[in-house]
Amino acid sequence: MSRRLIEVELTIDGRATMPVLTGGIYRPHLRVEDGEYLGVSFVDGPQARPALLARALAALVYEPGVDYSALAVGTHFEVFEGPKVVGSGRVLRGPFTA
């Protein structure tokens, strides 16, 4: 089954433990400015380290029911876990089908 992905660079700095950015385990929400919370699932990337920039791939898990057009190339976003901001990042590429 194909899925739509975006490539991002992000920093996670608001957690006690760092997430694994592979295998679809880490499923935060991304938000552009004051927009909608957009659910993603990180499918490929390194082990996140506090305050260090990481490059990763995230699946757009709720397409086609959710509009992810706010996550355009070059767009900056915040990473949310529930109501808490735990990081930030920028879209590098996508969306594309893999």
Sign of CA dihedral 98, 93, 77, 84: positive
Is a pLDDT exceeding 70 seen at residue 1?
no
CATH of the domain at 16: 2.40.30.10
Structural domain for 48, as ranges? 4-97
What is the share, in percent, of the chain residues with pLDDT greater than 90?
84
Domain count, the chain: 1
C-alpha 17/C-alpha 13 separation (Å) is: 9
C-alpha 22/C-alpha 16 separation (Å) is: 19
Query: Averaged over 48-72, what is the pLDDT?
Result: 94
